[in-house]
Structure 1
Amino acid sequence: MIVDLSVPVVNGMPVYPGDPEVEIAPALTVAAEGVNVLGLHLGSQSGTHVDAPFHIDDALPTLDDLPLERFLGPAAVLDVRGLPPRSPVTAGMLETVAGRLRPGTVLLVATGWDEHWGTPEYLAHPYLAAETARLIAAAGVRTVGIDALSVDPTSRPAGDDAAGASATGAAGAIGAAGEPGGDLPAHRALCGAHAVIAENLRNLDPLLEAQAAGRPIEVSLFPLRLAGADGAPVRAVARIGGV
């Protein structure tokens, strides 16, 4: 069984503040040129994507510096669904998957926040506490994904703590990320260990069900091969095997 873990790439989709807007339009058409070709304008962090360590530090590896094994592996899915908005995923919550955290494992954090994709509520996602991220890295895990905008907290839109501006791509609709000081502590703990981070995943519920049933799960997060990149969009998928 193959499960698609990616959001669709469409015009007007949510983007992080300051990132390029996603624009998709016909560049060639069958009627005019004899073939259909789309013109794409988007950022490296658009939609479901992976961050290379270079994303937060010029001295860290770029996307093409990383081994391909970093983007494929057996999954451990951490169930933290039901957390209130803007809540940390604490170190104690790792206990349910502690026996699965080892080198080569792809850790997926299921917050359930993908149900808010495309709404202002998507900005109020749970996030990894800095200590949690450090423990994940210390366990040897080098691939971490989350079904939310970021592994770090996202600030409320300026001037509106409740709903805020539209979350469908307007620059400034999403405030600066990070705990006080905006230092992106979870990113720094993971990227500093040369881990990759997948964000804006979706549809992790079937994986949790498979894990509970003892079925093996393999996750693929292969990005576009962008030279010297900070990250790239991915078509994230999971293969669920038999018992």
Structure 2
Amino acid sequence: MRLIDLSVLVATGMPVYPGDPRVAIAPALSAAADGVNVLHLDMGSQSGTHVDAPFHIDDALPTLDQLPLERFWGRAVVVDARGAAPRTPLGPSLFEESSSEGSLSEGSLSEGRPRAGGIVLVATGWSRHWGHDDYLAHPYLTPEAAELLVKAGIRTVGIDALSVDATPADAFPAHRILCGAHAVIAENLTNLAPLLDAQTAGEPIEVSLLPLRLPAADGAPVRAVARVG
């Protein structure tokens, strides 16, 4: 068994979604002057590797603390979208063809396939552009792909990009479909390639996306970690 970190480093000036609060980290207390070292953190709830609660896009939907912990921890399947070009819409065929065992649809979920209640991670490889302008030109899910995942009973979807929707986005269609089904969305993941290798080798993958316990929140940063083997 081995642990794989799927989180970006939280640092001053790190990339954020356009219009979100900037991240700033500075010493608040020092061991030399105050007897202890303490940092002051200034950041938004959607900073870095984070999860979205359904409340993120609609006041009537569940907040982060209203969701079961099972949404943030479980067996995961990784879908390989690393060949996608900039701003490519990722449609249902990506998920239907992700295994030779059949399509991702109701009643056709089997071992090694996304299962109802499980976690689906979309590996675009876009985390390699973290910190550069190209990071905003990431692939994204189509509404049809989001509908397919929801109909299959998937309630946790992650991606190694800035958003499951295009950036910038007006209507956030993939967010609205997933969040409307009370699903959790994890964004700004990184280091998914080792998970694809493990999956090809037949190793089981379990992922933790446990967020900070914030009341009535739209989302929160996470230390995303995978356990392989």
TM-score by length of 1: 0.88
C-alpha deviations, 1:13-36, integer Å up to 9, x for none? 011122111010000001110100
Report the identity percentage.
69
Partners of 1:195 and 1:148 lie apart in 2 by 18
Per-residue Cα deviation, 1:127-152 (whole angstroms, up to 9, x for no partner): 00110001101100000000000000
State the SS of the aligned residue for 2:62.
Answer: coil
Corresponding residue for residue 131 of structure 2: 118
Where does residue 166 of structure 1 map in the other structure?
none
Of residues 100, 104, 110, the one that matches 2:117 is 104
Equivalence for 2:93: 92
- Equivalents in 1 of 2:19, 2:137: separation in Å? 19
Q: What residue number does 1:198 align with?
A: 186
- Partner Cα separation in structure 2 for residue 15 and residue 81 of structure 1: 22
1:70-108: per-residue Cα shift (whole Å, max 9, x none)?
Answer: 000101000010111000111111121534222221000
Task: Give the counterpart letter for 2:155 in structure 1.
Answer: R
**Alpha-carbon distance in 1 for matches of 2:42, 2:87:** 31
Question: 1:2 corresponds to which residue?
Answer: 3
- In 2, the alpha carbon distance for the partners of 1:125 and 1:88 equals 9
2:33: which partner in 1? 32
1:213 matches 2:201: yes
- Does residue 188 of structure 1 match 2:176? yes
1:139 counterpart = 2:139: no
SS at match of 2:75: strand
> Which 4+ runs in 1 deviate beyond 2 A?
none
Q: Which moved more, 1:93-102 or 1:202-211?
A: 93-102
Uncovered stretches (5+) of structure 2, i.e. residues with no partner: none
SS in 1 for 2:14: coil
Aligned pair count reads: 216
Give the letter for the 1:20 counterpart.
P
Matches of 1:104 and 1:186 in 2, distance apart? 18
Residue in 2 that maps onto 1:169: none
Q: Helix, strand or coil: the match of 1:207?
A: helix
Once residues 101 and 30 of structure 1 are traced to their aligned partners in structure 2, the CA distance between those partners, rounded to angstroms, is 49
Counterpart for residue 70 of structure 1: 71
Q: Is the 8 A contact 2:25 2:42 kept in 1?
A: yes
Q: Give TM-score scaled by structure 2 length.
A: 0.93
In 2, the alpha carbon distance for the partners of 1:83 and 1:194 equals 28
